[in-house]
Structure 1
Amino acid sequence: MLTIYGKIIEKIETRITDGSLKPGEKLPSVRSLAVELGCSVNSVIKAYSDLENDHKVFSVPKSGYYLVGSTPSICGTSADVIDFASAGPDRTKMPYRDYQHCMNQAIETYKEEMFQYSEPLGLSSLRYQLSKQLQDLQVFTVPERIAVVSGSQQALDILVSLPSPNGKSEICVEQPTHFSFIESILSRGLTAVGIEMTEKGIDLDRLENIFRERNIKLFYTVSRFQNPTGYCYSNKEKKRIVELAQKYDVYIIEDDYMGDLDTRRKADPMFAYDSSGRVIYTKSFSKVLLPGLRLGAAVLSESLIEGFTKAKFAADVHTPVLTQGALEIYLESGMYNKHIQKLRHLYSQKGKILKQAYVNHLPEGAVFTGGESGFYSTITFPDRLKAVQLVKHLKLKNVLVQDASGMYLPPYRKENTIRLSVSQVEDRLITEGVKKIADGIRELNW
């Protein structure tokens, strides 16, 4: 039999489930709910506190408690929206309270450092913790080669602009790839060569031809859970790409921003197969921790450290000390590893549901990629159907998807691909959403 305290929890969760309490809305006041349920104010306070510790609600001082999350509004209502367009982490699983403790401790620990400028490449104590943490991803390096950056995008933007030790100037990049890297290339007027990423990966013979025939200084690749396709290279493919880079004197930027979510125990990064210093490894904490922190790391070859340090100093002097200190404490305490274990299970489950829904419901002629991480996946359909048309059509059905045409360099642009993420979609809605997408493709294509 439920206790009074348990009944309060059940009451709130029922209102969440039936939609009478929506994300972002204020919960009943402590006093009004106590009167409604005929219980003590202390019982309601304890129940709300536990819901907050579970990250289902959050409190605003002098205002009250609110349901975590937000749902975009379509056609004047937020009900029944299936959002495959938002690609951020699941808000309900983010460690707000744990990280708040780390922030508070960092204020005490680094109160003196906050009154002076810090090291451009990051706090030495954080770089030490990162060197230990990266070992779990089979990235073995010394702290001196690690740069703490304001999100991995900062590292990527700096790296594409630096002169390369090989004296070359062109960049090879998977097509499609994420918007921000495309912008870094286009805004600087750099010469870029695309290589197509499909559901089967890239053509390694084609990659060798590009390395041999073009003036390639960097190959940018997302080796696990590629954005937007969700593709993961096999160890065999990674080894071959590193061999080609060594043979043709090409540097690799390996963006492993979601490597923490990989459930394959024997999956290694390209960095693990390189002894020449040609693989520059970058990672981000945006997808697995809190995006607003803007924290990432880069493992640099010795030949790039001096130039990168100068460019980092010119960009922002250094990444904020407070957020660095909080991350150091979070890593050292073991909270991060526990958090990652939960996320691996959460997102891999979503990925399994998504892939099965694709197999069961997508029409003939529609090809899907990825999905394993629960973050990124694409659907490509016959050329006569444009992604922009499908996006508008599905919006009327309260389904949001992303037109992927902007994720290509202009010469390689395709207009018949959409990107999906299920990171913020409830498990029970994934299959329903894929059915609506499949119906939309049929309605517009036949």
Structure 2
Amino acid sequence: MLKYEKIIKYIKKEISEGSLTYKKRLPSIRTVSQQFNCSIGTILKAYDKLEKDNIIYSSPKSGYYLLEDFHNINSSKNTIFDFSSGVPDIETFPYKDLQHCLNKSIKLHKETLFTYSDPRGLNSLRNVLKDHLHQYQIFTHEDNIVITSSSQQALNILSIMPFPNSKSNILIEQPTYYGMIKYLELNKTPALGIERGFNGINLNELENMFKYGNIKFFYTIPRFHNPTGYSYNKQEKMAIIKLAKKYNVYIIEDDITADLDLDKKNDPMFTYDTSGKVIYLKSYSKILMPGLRVAVLILPEILMKTFLDYKKWTDMNSPVLSQGALEIYLKSGMFDIHRRKISKLYSNRMTCLENTLSSLKQPKIKWNVPRSGYFACIYVDNKLRYDKIISTLSNQNIQLLDTRTCFLKEYRTDNYFRISISKTNEEKIKKGIPIVLDTIQKYLTYNKF
């Protein structure tokens, strides 16, 4: 074993034994150099490898520190089973690559930093995105592309701006993404719901809603739905688009997990739209890191001027450095490499989750586990003590989202449990999921307490 590898092994041993903890500075380079009787270059090589593996980070003029997620990572007593998170695993963040791209972005766009840029986004990034989106079977002109400061900003603006169909109600799936529901509630925006379960959506009910509901747009997550994990098939997508054209309803397609799909033939709804009714939205937060705050929105020309008016007086323009960094990251080919790596990681976790659930069959408990994505879902066909289940699991360091927040108040139900695998590795899945199912089974209301 090479000396720098011995140092890495030593640091990991110190972490596992609890000698090195979060916020505690690692031994100085000079100290380790003396301890192992080696050069400073060898220590730097070891620390650099630990940093690239997202185990430690460097603080200028201070030293090296352990990342928070590695604090007491091997201590079962303090292990957190995070099945609630909707953000990527910190271990997957391409820190070094994006740091390099940000540095290049500063040099490339330094003049733009001293003025306001086009609210549509950097022209150079939109040109790159036009070609990049071909991978998803998205073909559009760069003039139809707008860069927003996250997908949430795009949804917020679309929810409040007027549409050319002059309708006022927003239709959302039940359940759906919590951020959309919260924004609608805070702004008292009129919203209606339509049930979407493990078997998809009732198209007859959707047609009635489109026909009589005064629907401005239908917000949908066709691929790896949050929170059920279900994906529409091609026939369902085409049927929804046909109804939207017939009743003059727009569709907002939130394709937030497009990069995790292993099925290259699973095209977005936008691909099948010939009437300009589908608005396509894709974020880069879920595949790279949330702090990037860059999303791409594809709008039909008839909506562009109104949207840009609202966007300009929301933030003038989205952060230039983030846009520049994404442009470089895409052009360099680093994005494609990262996407292949990350989609395989989450697909493996989903397979592990499916296998674990299949070995623990219990009456009244059903589940949907997609091939990839972030979210699977457990459905309980029975009344249960939901609050008691969440609190009991929390006391055992198992975190679950209160999935009732994914419903409008009038549609709320206690039957769904979203299972996120974004920050939970396979070992934790195997250990944590049996506890989740046992706890649910324990608090079904037909049991005696």
Task: Report TM bin, short chain.
Answer: over 0.9
Where in structure 1 are there 5+ consecutive unaligned residues?
none
Instruction: Please report the RMSD computed on the Cα atoms of aligned residues, expressed in angstroms.
Output: 2.0
TM-score, normalised relative to structure 1: 0.94
- Structure 1 residue 349 displacement after superposition: 0.5
Shift of 1:382: 4.5
Greater mean deviation of Cα atoms: 38-47 or 393-402: 38-47
Partner of 2:82: 83
Corresponding pairs, count: 443
CA 1:201–1:21 in structure 2 vs 1: closer, same or farther (change >3 Å)? farther
Pairwise mapping of residues 147-158 of structure 1 onto structure 2 (< 5 A)? Answer: 147-158=146-157
Partner in structure 2 of residue 441 of structure 1: 440
* Aligned residue number for residue 264 of structure 1: 263
For 1:282-321, list aligned pairs within 5 A.
282-321=281-320
Q: Aligned pair in 2 of structure 1 residues 406, 296: CA closer, same or farther (>3 Å)?
A: same
Separation of aligned partners in 2, 1:62 and 1:92 = 24
Change in Cα spacing, 1:426 to 1:388, as seen in structure 2 (3 Å) is same
Instruction: Give the residue type in structure 2 aligned to 1:252.
Output: I
* Equivalent residue, structure 2, for 1:392: 391
2:200 aligned counterpart, secondary structure? coil
Alignment partner, residue 413 of structure 2: 414
Show structure 2 runs of 5+ residues with no match: none
Cα shift at 1:17: 5.2
CA contact (8 A) 1:350 1:374 kept: no
Comparing 89-98 and 161-170, the one that deviates more: 161-170
Q: Does 1:425 align with 2:412?
A: no
For the Cα contact (< 8 Å) 1:350–1:427, is it kept in 2? yes
Alpha-carbon distance in 1 for matches of 2:119, 2:77: 44
What's the CA shift for 1:57? 2.1
Task: Kindly indicate whether the alpha-carbon contact (under 8 Å) linking 1:69 and 1:92 is maintained by their aligned counterparts in 2.
Answer: no
Shift of 1:383: 4.5
Conserved in 1, the CA contact under 8 Å of 2:385 and 2:443?
A: no
2:128 is the alignment partner of 1:129: yes
Show the 5 A alignment for 1:35-434: 35-70=34-69, 79-434=78-433
The 1-side partners of 2:374 and 2:22 are apart by 21
Letter in 2 for 1:233: Y
Spell out, residue by residue over 1:51-88, the C-alpha distance to the aligned partner (whole angstroms, 9 max, x if none).
22333321111222223343799xx9972221111221
Instruction: Choose 265-274 or 391-400, whichever is displaced more.
Output: 391-400
CA contact (8 A) 2:223 2:232 kept: yes
Between stretches 294-303 and 387-396, larger displacement belongs to: 387-396
3-state DSSP of counterpart to 1:436: helix
Partner SS, residue 402 of structure 1: coil
Contact 2:364 2:382 in 1 (8 A): no
Asked if the contact 2:270–2:280 (Cα under 8 Å) also holds between the matched residues in 1, the reply is: yes
Q: What is the CA-CA distance between 1:19 and the residue it aligns to?
A: 5.8
1:194-245: per-residue Cα shift (whole Å, max 9, x none)?
Answer: 1111112112222122212221121100111111111111122111111111
| More displaced stretch, 144-153 vs 422-431 | 422-431
Partner Cα distance (1:346, 1:204) in 2: 34
Change (3 A) 1:25 1:416: farther
Q: Deviations over 1:114-151 (max 9, x none)?
A: 10111011111111111111111111111110000000
State the distance in 1 between where 2:284 and 2:68 align.
Answer: 20
User: What is the CA–CA distance in structure 2 between the aligned matches of 1:303 and 1:17, rounded to whole Å?
Assistant: 58
